[in-house]
Amino acid sequence: MRLRHLLMIMCLAISIIPIAMISGLQNFQIASAFLALILVITLSVGYVISYFISRPLVILTKNIDEISKGNLEVQLERSEIYEINNLTASLDRVMASLKLAIHKVGLKKEDIFEEVIKAKEEAERKFEQLLKKIDGWIWEIDNKGTCTVCSAKVAEALGCTSEQIIGKDIFGFLPGEEAKKLKDVVHELSEQKTDTTNKVDLYWLHQTDKHPIWVRSYLIPVFDSTGNFQGLRCFSRDATEQLVAQEKIQDLHKKLADLDAQMHTMLNEQLKNPQSKEPMINVVTESEFDYMYIFDENAKIIDCTNNIQKKLGYTKNEMLSLNVSDVAYLESHDEIKANLEEIKKQGALEIKTIHKKKDGSSVFVSEHIKYLKDRNMFICMVKEDAM
């Protein structure tokens, strides 16, 4: 409410007092006759009083706005009101001190205010550029979970604008179970009383068709000077592709472990029955590896899958008469032996290389070589690389 309006209301309220007194001493009809006169006098007096009080305050406010823009030559008007004059005098002293400080450092006041404005604009410009370049979006919530800040890049992940999120309960943008997880995380962070960064992976809902989006978020709790929890500052990005890659890696590791167990079983059976003509390794699914072979610490091939002829042209009997250096296009026998020592230390090794076919042509491949420690042998699982 404006000061002028408040003063007018106060004057009207005071005008009721003489009306009540006249009504009590005489009667209500006489009081009513004076009502219009009393109201006119009261409104006139209230207007004059409010004008003389509010006018110098309005002028002083305009002067302060000018000073904030860098104009230190503003002439502050004096007022008939003692308290406002004291305020004006205090502001005069502040301006004088500011002018003296500027003079001592040898700068122009225009430069100071101009540099502050430029620095602010430059900082805002760089921040906007950063928000456009980063692969993700920035958001903030208060201590009740209401989103207060959200950058425009949220649209790329969740299919909605920042305006559609700001002011809303952030938990409403996650499925029920995931929203409960986030609430638990927020509660835990509010109790920790530390502003450390915390990583959280959760499913969010795409706002167009409500399909789940795997999102990785980094949360920083915010506290006031007395340690009260104020909310979170957060950075999030769509990590769906990363999740798919992790799942593929985990699946591949599981399959490699299964192959390893299978290899040990078959090697044990071969050692128990050395006269058996069954192959030491079975044909592996084409989608996993194109072919495999086993060799000893001297790089002598001692077994291979039957389908190796489709890829390299060698029959199985021909492969069993070869050394790994006969198949490897780039490595010599000594280099292969040196690599085997490294594989023994690490247990396994991934290598991209070139294999030599029987007809002299070559093929680019990826090798996964694993050391079978209890048998002192190596198994090489090969997948052809598309060029």
pLDDT at 30: 57
60 by DSSP, 3-state: which?
A: helix
Return the structure tokens found at 32. 């009513």
Return the structure tokens found at 297. 């610490």
Contact present, 34 and 25 (Cβ < 8 Å): no
Q: Is the pLDDT of residue 283 over 50?
A: no
Return the structure tokens found at 77. 């008007």
- Please give the helix or strand (H or E) that residue 331 lies within, else none: none
Tens digit of pLDDT for each residue in 311-334?
899 998 899 999 999 998 888 888
pLDDT at 13: 65
Tens digit of pLDDT for each residue in 10-19?
666 666 666 5
Query: Residues 6 or more apart from 307 whose CB is under 8 A from it?
Result: 283, 286, 290, 291
Q: pLDDT confidence of 185, banded at 50, 70, 90?
A: very high
* Of the candidate ranges 102-116, 133-147, 203-217, the one whose mean pLDDT is the lowest: 102-116
Q: Is the pLDDT of residue 362 over 60?
A: yes
- Comparing CA positions, the residue from 121, 69, 63, 58 lying closest to residue 92 is 63
Burial 180-210 (b: 16+ CB within 10 A, else e): ebbeebbeebbeeeeeeebebebbbbebeee
Query: Residues 6 or more apart from 95 whose CB is under 8 A from it?
Result: 67, 72, 74
pTM of the full predicted structure?
Answer: 0.40
pLDDT at 129: 63
Mean pLDDT rounded to a whole number for the chain = 77
- Comparing CA positions, the residue from 295, 329, 296, 332 lying closest to residue 312 is 329
- For 335-346, the DSSP string reads HHHHHHHHHHHH
Q: Report, as an integer, the average pLDDT of 190-211.
A: 88
Structural domains for the chain: 3-104 (no CATH), 135-238 (3.30.450.20), 249-384 (3.30.450.20)
Return the structure tokens found at 122. 């430059």
